[in-house]
Amino acid sequence: MTLFDESEYLERLGKTKTRMADAGIDVLVASDPANMNYLTGYDGWSFYVPQCVVVSLDADTPLWIGRGMDVAGARHTTFLPEADIIGYPDHYVQTLARHPMNFVGDMIAERGWGAKTVGVEMDAYYFSARAYAELQKHLPNARFANADLLVNWVRLIKSDAEIVIMRQAGQIANRVMTTAIDRLEPGVRECDAVAAVYQAQMSGTEAFGGDYPAIVPMMPTGEKTSAPHLTWTDAPYENEQMVNLELAACRHRYHCPIARTAYLGKNPPAKLVELAAHTVEGLDLTLAAIKPGMRAEAVEQVWRKHMAKVGLEKESRIGYAMGLNYPPDWGEHTASLRPGDQTVLEPNMTFHMILGMWMDDYGFECSESFRVSGDGCETFADVPRKLFVKA
């Protein structure tokens, strides 16, 4: 009961193996839950214990190795044959006496891969320092190589089937953002506005439901707009204040992030209105300039030149690859729309372009998630690009 056809997973595995061979890696231990899902279909909230997918150049299908109690979930969500789904006993869980990665090492050795070059995702969220040390202990004859982001780079270009899911996430995103803007009023507690956003994220549309996004809703106001990663309180929103809305919708683990800015009150400062106009114009222009064959850095250049005309500059990147993911981040950590990024855009690469302009005591942000199409780009959501003033 995989989300996609088995042929799609085999194609992904094929591309992964090509990259492995190019990097001199014989056996890949993928611990990133998004990569595990991408390669096998596996989807469960079980990444709080060590688990992985093992891809070997000399095996047709990968191994799924996880906690014994999650074997049923792997049977349910992956295309793998029974023999390739392996659970470790519960006495490996959360103890100093042994570690699940010892078990993984043993499984790799048992299959005759113990003296191969083993690629590990050195900077993946759930591959801890100890996980690496314990894997090495049980594979004393292996050579280790850093395979961080190897699968992520394969993920960058989506299949048409993935795009269908991302369009659904886009439809949910419309509802999520509209709900947020509708719910924002002076006097409404931040937690209640956030509750409405969560409600919309999960209920989705009449036709299909939503999934949990990899990042919680961010809806800061007042002085907290300068602290981008603080979450909500139960204080009420105030009148004549700006609210940043950094939200997302998720469908089958595929994301459509979306950001807007709202102003609660009758009197948005003229400088904010002006900044909003420049930023939205820049977003429109930059999206319109996107073409396959263009480099990622060239996209950023379009934006940079536009803003320079009005005497403004944004220091950080203006976008990043995104798609399938798990907490704590929906970004894919590969291509970015920023100076120096030479990635050549290809159809079905998917990005979140987020233009946030922060001045001393005000700011404006507006974003779109899009795919590169055959001759331009296609945005997934459809919410007006503007400063929402709620008088």
Q: Which residues bind a second copy (CB under 8 A)?
A: 43-48, 69-70, 72-73, 75-77, 90, 94, 99, 120, 122-133, 146, 148, 189-192, 194-196, 198-204, 208-212, 215-216, 218, 223-224, 226-234, 315-316, 327-329, 333
Q: Which is nearer to a second copy, 224 or 278 (CB)?
A: 224
Closest CA to 333 of 347, 344, 323: 323
Q: Which is nearer to a second copy, 73 or 323 (CB)?
A: 73
Residue with tokens 């690496």: 132
Phi, psi of 289 (to 5 degrees): -85, -15
Minimum distance from residue 217 beta carbon to a second copy (Å): 9
Minimum distance from residue 354 beta carbon to a second copy (Å): 13
Q: Which is nearer to a second copy, 12 or 224 (CB)?
A: 224
Distance of CA 252 to the CA centre of its chain: 12
Angle among Cα 105, 109, 111 to the nearest 5 degrees reads 120
Rounded to a whole number of angstroms, the CA Rg of the chain reads 23
Minimum distance from residue 226 beta carbon to a second copy (Å): 5
The structure tokens listed for 174 are 């419309």
Minimum distance from residue 1 beta carbon to a second copy (Å): 10
> Residues near 318 by Cβ (< 8 Å), separated by ≥ 6?
286, 299, 300, 303, 337, 338, 353, 354, 355
Task: Report the alpha-carbon distance of residue 342 to residue 174 in Å, rounded.
Answer: 32
Minimum distance from residue 148 beta carbon to a second copy (Å): 7
Q: Which is nearer to a second copy, 207 or 391 (CB)?
A: 207
Which amino acid is residue 12, in one-letter code?
R
Q: Which is nearer to a second copy, 62 or 100 (CB)?
A: 100
Minimum distance from residue 233 beta carbon to a second copy (Å): 7
**Helix (H, G, I), strand (E, B), or coil: what is residue 382?**
coil
Q: Which is nearer to a second copy, 25 or 200 (CB)?
A: 200
